[in-house]
């Protein structure tokens, strides 16, 4: 059994993908070929923002956004404690200080009350300037932007939406990657919209930032690549990946997103009352980067994982520890924030196999095994 069946997806899309890749090879525009700009237009249109700028991966996308805002030493950037490492890593990489804030147990997303408290604490301490909040659409569900945006605006800060897991989700029809002043996503193969290697994108309505990011991603280019007006990086999406993404994006829009929602809803229906199933807020649509259940405690969770493994059912723990427990962040000198929800969720969370191509019979095996474990 596959945790996320990318082989099956390729079987279904093989003819189209092979053709698209072959065309890139024939045209031989491997870097910045026309497929890249075509994809950027498609994605900007889908998300509903003016600019989509692709880049090499979702981590670079975050760095490019922070760089465009000139965020660096002396700046505080607030980041949820429960997320993938890159959300915090890029802040420190730019020389700024990440301040980790707690999450909501129901949605796994940033907790507005904890965010407010953390900002107050930083302001009171007076050492750092609050500049931005990285808001992550964790496991596919958009964060609670209604509340977060008010806090961000009231404190004159910028909102960076890390939509690496959220692409395709929406709140009452407004799509993920359109909530941040700048938003980013990742096309890592296992993300909701993945390519066959690394890839990422940046979204914004702001012309000035878009121009700056386009320059930064190609060695700080001015008129062209050999006219360099600032220090940048080399972070582009390969033409081959853009061609593959065009095919995958079509499938994503036409059926994958709705199919993965059907599979997720079926889990929730059948597992309700047995384990804590994911909670999707009213009016929110998740793109289901993960289907994560909560168990009673660490023993219960670890026990279930072993029980399922023995039956050949793969599961994953996203994430075994919060950002503040990562060694790489051990030396950060900043205010202390209460992170007990993040700690508790790290001990109890378990992600089940999920993808748009999962059939009922396979899913029933997983559901029955979980029920059997909980009965014992």
Ligand X SMILES: *Cc1c(COP(=O)(O)O)cnc(C)c1O
- For ligand X, the binding residues (CB under 6 A) are 57-59, 83-84, 86-87, 136, 162, 164-165, 186, 188, 198, 200
Task: For ligand X, give the closer residue by CB, 59 or 286.
Answer: 59
Taking the complex as a whole, the smallest distance from the CB of residue 288 to ligand X amounts, in Å, to 13
Q: How far is the CB of 329 from ligand X (least distance, A)?
A: 15
Q: In this chain, which residue has its C-beta nearest to ligand X?
A: 58
Query: Do residues 114 and 337 lie in contact, with contact meaning Cβ atoms separated by under 8 Å?
Result: yes
Angle separating helix axes 239-251 and 34-47, nearest 10 degrees:
40
| Between 244 and 275, CB nearer to ligand X | 244
- 206: its two tokens: 């702001």
d(CA 258, CA 252): 8
Q: Taking the complex as a whole, how short is the minimal distance between the CB of residue 197 and ligand X, in angstroms? A: 10
Supply the minimum distance, in Å, between the C-beta of residue 179 and ligand X.
14
Q: How far apart are CA 106 and CA 96, in angstroms?
A: 30
63 or 304: CB nearest ligand X: 63
Instruction: Give least dist CB 176 to ligand X, A.
Output: 12
Contact present, 191 and 185 (Cβ < 8 Å): yes
Query: Tokens 């121009």 correspond to what residue?
Result: 211
Quote the least distance from Cβ 36 to ligand X, whole Å. Answer: 16
Are 274 and 293 in contact by the 8 Å Cβ rule? The answer is no
Contact 182, 214 (CB under 8 A): no
Residue 297 CB, nearest approach to ligand X (Å): 26
Element (H, E) at 293: strand 291-294
Rounded to whole angstroms, how far apart are CA atoms 2 and 188? 17
- Going by their DSSP bridges, the two strands 129-136 and 158-162 should be labelled as parallel
Cβ distance to ligand X smaller for residue 346 or 367: 346
Q: What is the DSSP letter of 281?
A: P
Looking at beta carbons only, is 108 or 267 nearer to ligand X?
A: 108
Residue of 1, 49, 5 lying closest to 190 (CA atoms): 5
Whose Cβ is closer to ligand X: residue 248's or residue 275's? 248
């Amino acid at each position: 059994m596959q945790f996320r069946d990318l082989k099956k997806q390729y079987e279904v899309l093989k003819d189209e993908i092979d053709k698209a890749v072959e065309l890139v090879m024939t045209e031989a525009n491997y870097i910045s070929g026309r497929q890249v700009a075509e994809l950027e237009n498609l994605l900007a249109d889908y998300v509903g923002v003016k600019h989509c700028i692709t880049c090499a991966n979702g981590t670079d996308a975050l760095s490019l956004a922070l760089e465009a805002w000139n965020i660096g030493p002396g700046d505080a950037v607030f980041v949820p404690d429960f997320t993938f490492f890159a959300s915090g890593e890029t802040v420190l990489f730019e020389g700024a200080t990440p301040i980790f804030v707690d999450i909501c147990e129901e949605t796994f997303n940033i907790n507005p009350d904890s965010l407010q408290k953390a900002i107050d604490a930083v302001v009171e301490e007076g050492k750092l300037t609050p500049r931005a909040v990285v808001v992550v659409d964790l496991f596919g569900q958009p964060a609670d932007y209604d509340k977060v945006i008010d806090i961000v605006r009231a404190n004159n800060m910028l909102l960076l939406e890390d939509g690496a897991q959220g692409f395709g989700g929406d709140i009452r029809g407004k799509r993920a990657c359109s909530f941040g002043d700048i938003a980013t996503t990742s096309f890592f193969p296992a993300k909701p919209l993945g390519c066959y290697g690394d890839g990422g994108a940046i979204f914004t309505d702001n012309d000035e930032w878009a121009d700056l990011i386009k320059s930064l991603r190609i060695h700080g280019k001015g008129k062209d690549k050999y006219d360099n007006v600032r220090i940048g990086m080399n972070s582009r999406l390969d033409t081959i990946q853009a061609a593959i993404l065009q095919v995958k994006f079509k499938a994503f829009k036409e059926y994958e997103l709705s199919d993965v929602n059907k599979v997720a809803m079926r889990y929730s229906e059948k597992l309700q009352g047995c384990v804590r199933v994911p909670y999707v807020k009213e009016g929110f649509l998740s793109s289901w980067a993960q289907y994560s259940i909560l168990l009673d405690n660490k023993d219960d969770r670890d026990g279930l994982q072993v029980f399922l493994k023995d039956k050949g059912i793969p599961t994953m723990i996203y994430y075994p520890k919060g950002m503040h427990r990562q060694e790489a962040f051990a030396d950060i000198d900043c205010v202390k924030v209460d992170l007990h929800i993040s700690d508790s969720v790290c001990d109890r969370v378990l992600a089940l196999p999920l993808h748009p191509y999962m059939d009922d019979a396979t899913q029933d095996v997983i559901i029955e095994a979980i029920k059997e474990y909980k009965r014992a």
